[in-house]
Amino acid sequence: MPAGQREDDLTFQVENEASQYIPFPLDEVDLDFQVTRPVPDNPEEVEVLIAASRKEKVEDRVATALAAGLKTAIMDVEPYAAQTAFELTLRQLPGGGEDQVIALVDIGATIMKINVLLNGESLYTRDQPFGGNQLTQEIHNQFNLSLEDSETAKKGGNLPENYKMDVLQPFCETLAIEVMRAIQFFYTSTQYTEVNYIFIAGGCAVIPGLDAIIASRTQVSTLIVNPFSTMELSSRVIPRQLNLDAPSLLIACGLALRSFDPS
């Protein structure tokens, strides 16, 4: 977009341009935008990031918050919320991770989200249909448990001795292959040929030894996300439990950071 526009003029122009990027009528969409930076080598233009969602998706989440007695203040996009919290973890890297290509891999229940970052800027994103539900389903198949009991047993660890060898190890190997495939897609889709670090998040991230298996498969140093590692903890917080839950709370932490100045 042309630089130096008034907010009202920029809003009008963004809404006019957005129709060619969003595959739904604009009256069915909630839309927002942010000016990110000047266009390289052209200071008379700026790059603008558009975020959009179907109104029904937003309304469903607002209704859920309302039912829980909460007032919705802002709606964020999951990868950006995760990135906000993830930036707190970069302090553990040499030089704060500056000039390093870092892949953030968030392993959810059904979807694995990959966001490759360089100096706080997203270079590449990808969703792959793989997640922790595959492990729950395999426990269900192998040990004749209900899906609910399989999920409970997966978290509690009270499973037969052959669980680790026959179920957990193959799942971790498959997950590592999925991460390696995502990294290869990044290489073939961009001009980059190296990832310096992989950070894993989500419920599966705390599986013992998963980080080592991914590192072995990808040949990339792999760490587990903990956005709370540099925070001062309340005396009511149990550090051991927080460490176990931290990789699953990345998006929640990113949302919370919108409400106060972490400095």
Q: Are residues 32 and 121 in the same domain?
A: no
- CA 193 remoteness from chain centre: 22
Q: Determine the Cα–Cα distance for residues 228 and 142; give it in Å rounded to an integer.
A: 36
Residue 208: predicted pLDDT: 92
Q: Are residues 87 and 65 in the same domain?
A: no
Residue 261: predicted pLDDT: 62
Q: Are residues 100 and 184 in the same domain?
A: yes
**Confidence band for 263, pLDDT divided at 50, 70 and 90:** low
128-174 residue pLDDT tens: 999 999 999 999 999 999 999 999 988 887 889 899 999 999 999 99
**Confidence band for 197, pLDDT divided at 50, 70 and 90:** very high
Q: Are residues 143 and 234 in the same domain?
A: yes
Q: Determine the Cα–Cα distance for residues 185 and 179; give it in Å rounded to an integer.
A: 10
Residue 80: predicted pLDDT: 87
Q: Which of 49, 75, 101 is the last residue of a domain?
A: 75
Numbers of helices and strands, H then E, in the chain: 10, 7
Give percent of the chain with pLDDT exceeding 70.
98
Identify the domain containing residue 193 by its residue range: 77-259
Q: Are residues 113 and 242 in the same domain?
A: yes
Q: Are residues 125 and 219 in the same domain?
A: yes
Q: Which of 57, 75, 93 is the last residue of a domain?
A: 75
**Confidence band for 188, pLDDT divided at 50, 70 and 90:** very high
Burial class of residue 181, CB neighbours in 10 A (0-12, 13-18, 19+)? middle
For the segment 210-220, the average pLDDT, to the nearest whole number, is 96
Residue 213: predicted pLDDT: 97
For the segment 184-203, the average pLDDT, to the nearest whole number, is 96
For the segment 72-77, the average pLDDT, to the nearest whole number, is 88
Q: Which CATH number characterizes residue 184's domain? A: 3.30.420.40
Number of domains in the chain: 2
Q: Are residues 50 and 122 in the same domain?
A: no
For the segment 227-237, the average pLDDT, to the nearest whole number, is 91
238-261 residue pLDDT tens: 999 999 999 999 999 999 988 766
Q: Determine the Cα–Cα distance for residues 166 and 135; give it in Å rounded to an integer.
A: 11
38-52 residue pLDDT tens: 998 898 999 998 889
Q: Which CATH number characterizes residue 13's domain? A: 3.30.1490.300
Q: Are residues 93 and 216 in the same domain?
A: yes
Q: Are residues 36 and 90 in the same domain?
A: no
Residue 78: predicted pLDDT: 87
Residue 262: predicted pLDDT: 54
Q: Are residues 106 and 220 in the same domain?
A: yes
What is the pTM assigned to this prediction?
0.86
Q: Are residues 23 and 60 in the same domain?
A: yes
**Confidence band for 99, pLDDT divided at 50, 70 and 90:** very high
Q: Are residues 34 and 56 in the same domain?
A: yes
